[in-house]
Amino acid sequence: MRLTTLRITSTRTAAARLDDSRRTLLPFSDVGAVLATGESWRDHAAAAGEVLTPTHAPTAIGPLTARLATLTQVQVNYASRARELNTPQPPLPRLLTTPVVALVGDRDALRPGRAPDIRWGVELGVVIGRYTSRVPEAGALRSVAGYTVVNTVAAPGRPAVVAVGPQLVTPDELPPGARGLTLTATLDGDPRQKANTSDLLFDVATLVARVSARTTLMPGDLIATGTPAATSPGQLRDGSHITVAIKGIGELRNTVTL
């Protein structure tokens, strides 16, 4: 199953199910609201609804959710990133709970504020689908509602602007743990990042287990699994175009406004 959030008008958004080229509107404001219904969220997501046809007005894609209770970032989760930072590979995940100032969708502006060391990068996003506390690794993947693309843009110590989307892809549509997916990022058309989710130092099950040991995860919470090397601070300028993508999930295209 693939879910997204559409901007129907300037003031209205709606969750939608994607079935090939067909888009079915759901009676929820965004995908996060679908997940917030609890264990029955899949039934709500699979329900009948209004089908958008080519004769409808074009719609834009918004962020999957209008709010995040928790965004957990993994700071170093690729060997290439550890080498870039000249730091040893961590023996355990380095987890950071990140305050979020804004959530944006595909083609939205990124407004992180002016700073000399703004960081960004493509990340596999893990979206939680049930209340999860101290789950063992063996059962951790059952807590995953799906996967998405994430680009967290922020200077160290500042709240982040988070691009998330363009869709949530449920685990049955992807390899177990979303392994084997190619991640890429370009800046103003120039390739900057390329990696594979099989290169993660700590896989999705490990991360869900570790994060749920430090805090209770709720439906709609997001774990950003870490970014590979090659997005050094100081690269962004006003008007920079960033595209981040994960094969099998989608891509986010955003313009930086400083």
| Residue 66: inside a domain | no
Residue 20 gets the label, from left (phi > 0), alpha (psi -120 to 50) or beta, of left
pLDDT band of residue 56 (cuts 50, 70, 90) is: low
Lowest mean pLDDT among 50-54, 245-249, 251-255: 50-54
Q: Are 23 and 83 in a shared domain?
A: no
The pLDDT of residue 136: 97
181 secondary structure, DSSP code: -
Last residue of a domain, one of 61, 91, 107: 61
Which range of 109-113, 231-235, 251-255 scores highest in mean pLDDT? It is 251-255
Helices (H), 36-96: 41-46, 79-84
Residue 171 is part of which domain span?
71-256
Q: Are 35 and 163 in a shared domain?
A: no
Q: Are 54 and 95 in a shared domain?
A: no
Last residue of a domain, one of 41, 61, 81: 61
Q: Are 194 and 111 in a shared domain?
A: yes
Q: What is the dihedral of CA 196, 202, 207, 209, to 10 degrees?
A: 140
The pLDDT of residue 232: 65
pLDDT tens digits for 114-163? 887 888 999 999 999 999 999 999 999 999 999 999 999 988 888 899 99
Percent of the chain with pLDDT over 90: 71
CATH number at residue 236: 3.90.850.10
Q: Are 193 and 249 in a shared domain?
A: yes
pLDDT band of residue 54 (cuts 50, 70, 90) is: low
Structural domain count, the chain = 2
